[in-house]
Amino acid sequence: MAVIAVINPKGGTGKSTTALVLATTLARHGASVTLFDCDPNRNLVAWKDGPSQCPITVTEHGDSTNIGRTLRGEGGRSQFVIADLEGTASLMVASAVLAADLTIIPMQGSAMDATQAHRAIALIEDQAAASGPKPYRVLFTRTKPGFATRDERAIRETMASAGIPIMATDLAERAAYRSMFTYRQSLDELDPQAVNGLDKARENADALASEIVEILRTAREPAHV
């Protein structure tokens, strides 16, 4: 099993979209997935109340005192446990990071998002100082394939030069990802007559899930001396 925390103190960075795309894609490939909605907005709980038949479990959670134990405990029943955390640097977020095998920090290519991503990284590093290394990756969201603004390029270069690990796969700007929340369905369930670009969205989602699975697999391999 693997526990994945999705965090960023700033709202609107794509945390819920990242969590939902990842969860439904892993389920499409046969994995058992539990998705914890720890955001007060409860976007994922609302999604699950819709018509989707995607076999993921969506659980509402708001208790900061037991989130770590709950996430690890759920791992005994699901291959992947994904937590969409609230947009603050809170006790709940810190506890979830401690329990996670991998933390994903979604951000758009703006200075404001970069500042808050650095806050998230500092929180992760604080937890690591007490408990050992905590793997994480920055994920750029709402990017335009084949095009990056000057701001985005500068931010990527600054982060890379600082040794901050950035995912090779972005979560691209796709109408289909917004439609998942509009129609409350997975990508596979959306009507291609009503939603443009489903094939490209699925390709992007598959690449994202594959990279995350590979990161988790590599992190578990014993170090060679």
pLDDT at residue 224 in the model: 45
Number of domains composing the chain: 1
**pLDDT range class, residue 223, cuts 50, 70, 90:** very low
Residue 223 included in any domain: no
- The CA-to-CA distance between both ends of the chain, in Å, stands at 26
9 domain-assigned:
yes
Residue whose C-alpha is closest to residue 22's, from 173, 210, 196: 210
Residue 225 forms part of a structural domain: no
133-175 confidence digits (pLDDT tens): 899 999 999 999 888 899 999 999 999 999 999 999 999 999 9
Mean pLDDT of 62-77: 86
If pLDDT is split at 50, 70 and 90, which confidence band does 225 have? very low
The verdict on residue 224 lying in a domain is no
Structural domain includes residue 69: yes
The pLDDT of 34-48, averaged and rounded, is: 94
* Lowest pLDDT segment from 14-18, 31-35, 60-64, 127-131: 60-64
Q: What is the pLDDT of residue 63?
A: 78
Q: What is the pLDDT of residues 101-112, one digit of tens each?
A: 999 999 999 999
Task: Give the percent of the chain with pLDDT over 70.
Answer: 97
Predicted local distance difference test score (pLDDT) of residue 196: 94
Check which CATH number belongs to the domain holding 158 and give it: 3.40.50.300
Amino acid residing at 63: D
* Domain-located, residue 102: yes
Q: Which tokens hold the place of 219?
A: 């992190």
Q: Which structural domain range is residue 57 located in?
A: 2-217
Backbone dihedral angles phi then psi of residue 195, each to the nearest 5 degrees: -125, 125
pLDDT band at 222 (very low <50, low <70, confident <90, very high): low
pTM as predicted: 0.94
The phi, psi pair for 171, rounded to 5°, reads -95, 100
**110: in domain:** yes
Out of 15-24, 140-149, 174-183, pick the least confident. Answer: 140-149
pLDDT at 131 over 90: no
Strands 80-85 and 2-6: parallel
Q: Is residue 141 part of a domain?
A: yes
